[in-house]
Amino acid sequence: MRRIALAAAFLAAMVYPLMVPNYLATVGMLMFFTAFIGQSWNISGGFAGQTSFGHAVFFGVGAYTSTILQVSYGWNPWLACPTAMAMGGLVGAGIAILSFRAGLRGSYFALITLAFAEVFRIAANSAPITHGGLGLLIKADQRPINFQFRDQIWVYYLALGLCLVSLAIAWWLTRSRFGARLVAIRENEDAARALGIDVFTEKVKVLTLSGAMCAAGGTFYAQKYLYIDPNIAFGIDKSVEMLLVTMVGGAGTIFGPLIGSIALTTINELTRAAASVFPVLKNVQPLSLIVYGAMLILIVARLPDGFASLFGRRRHA
């Protein structure tokens, strides 16, 4: 039953862009993309319970690494992408080693990640190599060899592919000993340590993995829009977006970020539709964010396992 539902959902996702206007295909692409970066947050924030307020730091490092390698050093973006992921993983490991060596937990870890993202944002705003606040433009040359596509449907399938890979990683976490150790750390760090789990190493590993994934999202974003600036890359909006979709959908579940992304995308499109009927609501973006914020409060307070917990069996290991 479950397999049939998943196969049907996959088929629907495959034919979706062929059936709808371009605008809705782009909406779908962004939905899968957000689910992907949300999953990168979920891996460390959900499964391992290390709430981060600054995941944009990995997103931005990924976006800037591949863009700078391309623009300033003439790298091919397909080669720059793994390098960007390596950088994201490195920054993740660095932040994790510093923070966890200092024994930061819970809210303190969340706040220090925010401060790291802020340091990167200000540095990117001032450094010559990033062109400061002007941002970096990638030259448009729409050939697949350049990680750019004339037909946007390929960008959609790429986002879908990323999302599927991230789901596979999350699925693997629910099956592997590594994932079980992460859940043990989330539920009770001291107990996990007493069981002989090397808490520090496991936390560094998970942040490395999460950072590398999120960096791939940064490269994807830069290649789609061919532009990146410090506020897009390192601003709090991206960090909050990743956290929101995961918390709303269900932190620590396989499908949480995807469900959250579907929910938030739907709200976004509904407010857009409402705004076209009631012109008073001319400002769509803040309105949907108000709804997101209210949902975050309600979910954390009333449904801590997110929407995913509404779908039958709890996957909350």
Partner 1 sequence: MLDPQIILAGVLNGLLAGGIYVLVAVGLTLIYGVLHIINFAHGSLLMLAMYAVFFLWRLLGLDPYVSLPLVTAGAFAVGFVLYRLVIGPFSHGRDENILLITLGVSIVADNAALLFFGGDTLTIDVPYAGDIIQVGAAFLPLPKVISCGAALVICLVLGLFMTRSDTGKAIRAVARERQGARLVGIDVEHIFAVSYGIGIACLGAAACLLMPTFYVTPQSGYAFVLVAFTIVVLGGMGSFLGAAVGGFLIGITESLGGLFLGEQLGQIGISLIFILILLLKPTGLFGSRA
Q: Find the binder of partner 1 among 287, 306, 307, 308 (CB under 8 A).
A: 287
d(CA 186, CA 149): 41
Q: Find the binder of partner 1 among 304, 310, 311, 314 (CB under 8 A).
A: 304
Least Å distance between CB 199 and partner 1? 17
Longest dimension (CA), the chain: 60
10 binds partner 1 (CB under 8 A): no
Give the residue among 223, 203, 208, 220 at the shortest CA–CA distance from 86: 208
CB nearer to partner 1: pick between 17 and 54: 54
Tokens of 84: 């960007």
118 binds partner 1 (CB under 8 A): yes
Least Å distance between CB 313 and partner 1? 23
Q: Find the binder of partner 1 among 7, 8, 11, 115 (CB under 8 A).
A: 115
Least Å distance between CB 98 and partner 1? 6
d(CA 21, CA 17): 8
Query: Buried (b) or exposed (e) across 100-138, using 16+ Cβ within 10 A?
Result: beeebeeeebbebbbebbbebbeebbeeeebbeeebbeb
CB nearer to partner 1: pick between 39 and 99: 99
Length of the chain counted residue by residue: 317
129 binds partner 1 (CB under 8 A): no
φ/ψ of 253, rounded to 5, equals -115, 155
Q: Which residues bind partner 1 (CB under 8 A)?
A: 51, 53, 98-99, 102-104, 106-108, 110-112, 114-116, 118-119, 122-123, 125-126, 132-133, 236, 240, 243, 247, 283, 285-287, 289-290, 292-297, 300-301, 304
